[in-house]
């Protein structure tokens, strides 16, 4: 037997379809498709704007080779001995760590030995230049005065030189369930000159990767370079500043779970990146490089602080967009990264958070599947609304109180989709029931009309059949009553014959009334209009009542002398109206 389900499947099939929809939504959530990533990032950006905070008073100072420095010292790039003078000035002001956001991958073309090779000059000048040290040697010597962290850059695979150098940074690996991680991998690094690498206290990679919408939200903490794990520039600065011997990297499960810098534990995502807490760059302590060289600054601006040195003059630096819409140079971006690590204000988004996001989606959809039909409509709406408010409110609380990035956007979308799907089926079912009820009502009405017609036909047929014997009774009783064949003997039979005649006449009137009603109900009735005297109709009605029922305990008075109008109407119907009125009056 084939069951007709129509547009609405049975409840069990709806629940199975709902569970399938929930599983499909979870799979989509795991795929991290671009539209859903855009929703997630948009919500995280909104949280950053809602809970915007000022930059903490951290120990970072930016020394900027800006427009005023270029105008005061000369065009960029400066000779390396000038950079050496700048680092020496930092050392004299007791700078704790100097981070050079500049890559010195080639020898200084303005170094004396290169000038002697490239430019013809008098012998006297040649002899004087030969005794001068190399600018790169001078820079390396200045770097010995203050712990200096150098910057490396990543090289695309198609641009790998025939010979690459790499500096080994101390990294301690702590392997958990798995030994593989989803680290960012690069084939090689663009490093500094070997003598500079040897003079520096550390080296880190200044890698910047934009999200698909071009906004900076996170930066890598460690990455994989030619099978070696290398820290980022900011992480290495913090390691040197805190005097940590190595950076600890914990690899557990699907990827990196975090890293340690000294006593600080820094959670990362599985790819080894850190989500930045965006703050306004207006709070950075910033000095112009020319002011540092000339001593036009306060000693506390550099003493015991981390100095990040870079160039932001026109055409020298690329700008990046933050979640707040602010443009940051790479120098400011690295300073922001260091401030996030030192002030412990960075955001966290671990695999546990992603698991709870998936669990929230599954719980919301399955809750709708299981509770659908068990809750009233408005109560169900309230439950869904409360669940969504709980998700969004919990996410905002986790961000503001614990710096946790929990994304409710996909879960909210999934719950709304599931709810609308079930509401749509409910609306279709309700509409179908209404149509079915209307059809049943129409069918019942048709059956009632058919039954009424059958009753009317039956009464009409029966009334017609009763008229024949009644006419015989009336005829014979009237003959006996009038003594057509002689007087009745004994005389009492005449009285009985009169009573029989009157009762038969009354019954004939009732039969006639039934026939009239049947004609009206069947739509076949019509009026027989004539002129008649109302007094005659009243007298006839009173006589019928007196003869048929007697007036036990009742008395009918009629003023026959009162003026009465003549009517133009159906006399039989008027008489029936009068009979009904008089019968009710006598009975009740």
DSSP per position, 502-524: HHHHHHHHHHHHHHHHHHHHTT-
Give residue 106's domain range.
55-343
Cβ distance 73 to 82 under 8 Å?
yes
pLDDT tens, position by position, 161-183: 545 555 556 676 665 555 445 67
In the structure, what pLDDT confidence band is assigned to residue 541 with cuts at 50, 70 and 90?
confident
pLDDT (0 to 100) of residue 179 = 47
**What is the Cα–Cα distance from 22 to 230, expressed in whole angstroms?**
41
In a domain, 43, yes or no: no
Long-range contacts: 80-86, Cβ < 8 Å, 24+?
80/104, 80/108, 80/110, 80/111, 80/135, 80/136, 80/138, 80/139, 81/135, 81/138, 81/139, 83/139, 83/142, 84/135, 84/138, 84/139, 84/141, 84/142, 85/142, 85/293, 86/289, 86/292, 86/293, 86/309
What average pLDDT does the structure give for the chain? 82
- Check whether residue 328 and residue 477 sit in a common domain: no
- Check whether residue 447 and residue 359 sit in a common domain: no
- Check whether residue 418 and residue 549 sit in a common domain: no
- Check whether residue 218 and residue 361 sit in a common domain: no
| Largest separation between any pair of C-alpha atoms in the chain | 184
- Check whether residue 199 and residue 292 sit in a common domain: yes
- Check whether residue 60 and residue 96 sit in a common domain: yes
DSSP notation for 276-339: -----GGGSEEEEHHHHHHT-S-GGGTTT-EEEEEE-STTT--EEE-TTS-EEEHHHHHHHHHH
pLDDT (0 to 100) of residue 321 = 87
Q: Peptide bond before 268: cis, by omega within 30 degrees of 0?
A: no
Q: Considering 343, 369, 391, which residue would you say is the last residue of a domain? A: 343
Cβ distance 236 to 306 under 8 Å?
no
In a domain, 447, yes or no: yes
- Check whether residue 492 and residue 410 sit in a common domain: no
In a domain, 545, yes or no: yes
Reply yes or no on whether the pLDDT at 457 is more than 80. no
Q: Considering 315, 343, 371, which residue would you say is the last residue of a domain? A: 343
In a domain, 405, yes or no: yes
174-178, 334-338, 472-476, 486-490: range with highest mean pLDDT: 334-338
**Ramachandran class of 404: left when φ > 0, alpha when ψ lies in -120 to 50, beta otherwise:** beta
By three-state DSSP, how is residue 102 classified?
Answer: coil
pLDDT (0 to 100) of residue 180 = 47
How many residues are there in the chain?
Answer: 588
Q: For residue 172, what are the contacts with CB-CB under 8 A and spacing of at least 6?
A: 246, 247, 248, 249
In a domain, 28, yes or no: yes
Reply yes or no on whether the pLDDT at 411 is more than 50. yes
What would the mean pLDDT of 36-44 be, rounded to a whole number?
93
In a domain, 242, yes or no: yes
Q: How many domains in the chain?
A: 3
Beta bridge partners of 151: 204
In a domain, 362, yes or no: yes
In the structure, what pLDDT confidence band is assigned to residue 129 with cuts at 50, 70 and 90?
low
Element of type H or E holding 261: strand 255-261
Cβ distance 83 to 139 under 8 Å?
yes
What would the mean pLDDT of 520-525 be, rounded to a whole number?
62
**What is the Cα–Cα distance from 164 to 158, expressed in whole angstroms?**
13
- DSSP annotation of 347 reads B
- Check whether residue 423 and residue 449 sit in a common domain: no
- Check whether residue 78 and residue 171 sit in a common domain: yes
**What is the Cα–Cα distance from 250 to 345, expressed in whole angstroms?**
21
In the structure, what pLDDT confidence band is assigned to residue 39 with cuts at 50, 70 and 90?
very high
| Residue 169: other Cβ atoms inside 10 A | 21
- Check whether residue 412 and residue 487 sit in a common domain: no
Token reading at 199: 């003079």
Q: Considering 297, 323, 343, which residue would you say is the last residue of a domain? A: 343
- Check whether residue 82 and residue 142 sit in a common domain: yes
* Single pTM value for the model: 0.71
In a domain, 2, yes or no: no
**What is the Cα–Cα distance from 385 to 76, expressed in whole angstroms?**
60
- Check whether residue 19 and residue 87 sit in a common domain: no
| Sign of CA pseudo-dihedral 359, 364, 369, 373 | positive
Q: Which residue has the tokens 């030192």?
A: 342
């Amino acid at each position: 037997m084939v069951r007709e389900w129509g547009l609405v499947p049975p409840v069990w099939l709806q629940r199975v379809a709902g569970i399938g929809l929930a599983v499909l939504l979870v799979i989509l959530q795991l795929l991290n498709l671009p539209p859903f990533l855009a929703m997630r990032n948009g919500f995280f950006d909104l949280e950053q704007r809602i809970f915007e905070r000022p930059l903490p008073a951290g120990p970072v100072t930016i020394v900027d080779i800006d427009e005023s420095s270029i105008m005061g010292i000369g065009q960029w790039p400066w000779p390396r001995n000038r950079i050496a003078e700048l680092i020496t000035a930092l050392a004299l002001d007791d700078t704790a760590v100097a981070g050079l956001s500049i890559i010195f991958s080639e020898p200084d073309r303005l170094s004396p030995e290169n000038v002697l090779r490239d430019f013809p000059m008098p012998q006297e000048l040649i002899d004087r230049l030969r005794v001068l040290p190399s600018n790169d040697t001078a820079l390396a010597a200045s770097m010995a005065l203050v712990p200096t962290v150098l910057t490396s850059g990543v090289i695309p695979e198609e641009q790998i030189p025939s010979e690459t150098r790499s500096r080994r940074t101390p990294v301690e690996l702590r392997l958990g369930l798995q030994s593989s991680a989803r680290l960012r991998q690069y084939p090689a690094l663009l490093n500094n000159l070997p003598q500079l690498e040897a003079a520096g206290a550390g080296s880190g990679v200044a890698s910047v990767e934009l999200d698909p919408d071009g906004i900076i939200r996170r930066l890598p903490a460690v990455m994989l370079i030619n099978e070696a794990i290398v820290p980022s520039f900011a992480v290495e600065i913090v390691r040197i500043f805190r005097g940590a011997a190595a950076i600890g990297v914990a690899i557990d499960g699907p990827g990196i779970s975090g890293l340690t810098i000294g006593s600080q534990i820094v959670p990362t995502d599985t790819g080894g990146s850190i989500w930045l807490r965006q703050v306004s760059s207006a709070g950075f302590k910033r000095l112009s490089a020319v002011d540092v060289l000339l001593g036009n600054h306060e000693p506390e601006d550099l003493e015991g602080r981390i100095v990040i040195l870079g160039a932001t003059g026109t055409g020298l630096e690329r700008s990046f967009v933050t979640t707040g819409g602010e443009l940051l140079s790479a120098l400011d971006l690295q300073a922001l990264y260091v401030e996030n690590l030192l002030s412990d204000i960075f955001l966290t988004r671990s695999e546990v958070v992603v698991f709870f996001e998936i669990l929230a989606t599954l719980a919301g959809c399955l809750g709708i599947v299981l509770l659908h039909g068990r809750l009233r409509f408005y109560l169900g709406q309230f439950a869904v609304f409360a669940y969504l408010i709980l998700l969004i409110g919990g996410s905002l609380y986790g961000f503001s109180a614990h710096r946790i990035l929990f994304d409710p956007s996909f879960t909210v979308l999934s719950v709304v989709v599931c709810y609308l799907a079930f509401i749509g089926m409910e609306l279709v079912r309700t509409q179908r029931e209404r149509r079915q009820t209307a059809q049943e009502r129409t069918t019942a009405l048709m059956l009632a009309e058919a039954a009424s017609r059958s009753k009317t036909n039956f009464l009409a047929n029966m009334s017609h059949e009763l008229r024949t014997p009644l006419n015989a009774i009336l005829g014979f009783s009237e003959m006996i009553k009038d003594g057509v064949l002689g007087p009745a003997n004994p005389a009492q039979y005449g009285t009985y014959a009169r009573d029989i005649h009157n009762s038969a006449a009354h019954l004939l009137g009732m039969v006639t009334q039934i026939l009239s009603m049947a004609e009206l109900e069947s739509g076949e009735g019509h009026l027989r209009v004539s002129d008649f005297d109302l007094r005659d109709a009243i007298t006839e009605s009173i006589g019928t009542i007196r003869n048929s029922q007697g007036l036990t305990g009742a008395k009918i008075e009629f003023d026959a002398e009162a003026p009465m109008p003549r009517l133009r109407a159906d006399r039989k119907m008027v008489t029936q109206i009068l009979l009904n009125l008089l019968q009710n009056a006598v009975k009740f």
